[in-house]
Amino acid sequence: MQKKLLAVAVAGALLAPAAAMAQSSVTISGIFKVGIDNYRISDSARAGHKSETRITDNSSRMIFGITEDLGGGLSGIAQLDARFQPDDAGGGFAESGNTWVGVRSASMGTLTFGRHDLHYGKQPDDTAALAGALQAAAVSLMDHINASPVANATRTPNVIRYDTPNWSGFAATVAYSTNGAGNEADLGSAVRKGSAWNFNPSYTSGPFQVGFSHWRQKADGVDAEQTSNSLYGYYRFGAFKVGLGFNQAENELAGVTTADRNAWTVPVTWTAGQHHVAGHYTKAGENDSVAGEDGAKMLAIAYSYLLSKRTSMGVTFAKITNDGTSAYNFFTNTGGLGSTGSTMTAGEDGRLMAFTVRHAF
């Protein structure tokens, strides 16, 4: 009898963690999105080849979502957003996406700590949706001052983020980063401590949305600041969605304005059954703080055909025309998702043609 009781006790101890784990819900989702593209640089004095054909990852990812019901409308939540590159595995498998942990209240909103997309990408542009090439997104001009990114043009680290509940269409995000650029560098520094703020209210009702986003970042260990304001919105009618986005951005160094430019975009989307067409015309104005012509304009269009709810394939055309001293480039065309030598220099123009396959799971 004692042996039987001991066996039951051991089994109960082993099953207890499993029972506790069963209270959490874990979901796995993500996308594979890879294409073949031809990238060409014109108006260039560089030697050697001026075009190349590439297999390009479009920010493939695997997302683990975790939710535990704590009762009373409260939930414990976490997300691991791991990015990978099926084309050459050059990016490894890292939690470089939106990765965080926090709590959610049905009545009071959501509080999280981690890495988040903040401020950038607020324009209602669907060009890179479905099987459209990521590099053709309006972010290319809207969230850069020439070659300098606004709000990192990617995730912001070290973030404390609060999202309000949806109050009859109105919602807002308030976020603070102890260092919006990376690792902390306050200790031992004689220069001010760094930080970043983002305030992003929006209102959505039926076929339209309007939103505003404010960003302010102070660098750690350097007397440098960046401020930016974005106003955006869209309206849907029938199969069409027409949007408008405006972005003002300014950089300062030691109290002196080094960059000040405005940019705007008009994105348009048409959807009918298995067909999805999206594009935009975007223009970045000149930097008022420096001499010379350094504006740019961009035109992009993408067609996606839905083979199913999860799988689509598409073709994309995009072109950037730089002024004489500007060097705007396609979004993600440099760094891990681009290729060696693909950074445009002053006065060069770029053209992208892509065929992309996307599978969501």
Structural domain spans, the chain: 28-360
Is 2 in a helix, a strand, or coil?
helix
What string of pLDDT tens digits covers the 361 residues of the chain? 444 444 444 444 444 444 444 468 999 999 999 999 999 999 888 888 999 999 999 999 999 999 999 999 999 999 999 999 998 876 677 888 999 999 999 999 999 999 999 999 999 999 999 999 999 999 999 999 998 999 999 999 999 999 999 999 999 999 999 998 877 778 877 787 899 999 999 999 999 999 999 999 998 888 899 999 999 999 999 999 999 999 999 999 999 999 999 999 999 999 999 999 999 999 999 998 888 899 999 999 999 999 999 999 999 999 999 999 999 999 999 877 888 889 999 999 999 999 999 999 9
Q: Which two tokens stand for residue 217?
A: 């970042």
Report the pLDDT value the prediction gives residue 17, as an integer from 0 to 100.
Answer: 47
Report the pLDDT value the prediction gives residue 91, as an integer from 0 to 100.
Answer: 65
Report the pLDDT value the prediction gives residue 79, as an integer from 0 to 100.
Answer: 98
- Cα radius of gyration (the chain): 23
Report the pLDDT value the prediction gives residue 29, as an integer from 0 to 100.
Answer: 98
| pTM confidence score | 0.90
| CA–CA distance, 113 with 102 (Å, rounded to integer) | 6
Contacts of 192-196 with CB under 8 Å at 24 or more apart are: 192/218, 192/223, 193/218, 193/220, 194/218, 194/219, 194/220, 194/221, 196/118, 196/151, 196/156
Report the pLDDT value the prediction gives residue 7, as an integer from 0 to 100.
Answer: 43
CATH topology of domain 28-360: Porin (2.40.160)
Closest by Cα among 347, 301, 342, 340 to 39: 342
Report the pLDDT value the prediction gives residue 15, as an integer from 0 to 100.
Answer: 44
Burial class of residue 300 in the structure, from the number of CB atoms within 10 Å of its CB (0-12 exposed, 13-18 middle, 19+ buried): buried
Report the pLDDT value the prediction gives residue 216, as an integer from 0 to 100.
Answer: 98
Report the pLDDT value the prediction gives residue 336, as an integer from 0 to 100.
Answer: 73
Give the DSSP per-residue string, 121-165. Answer: T-S---TTSTTS-GGGSTHHHHTEETTEESGGGSEEEEEEEEE--
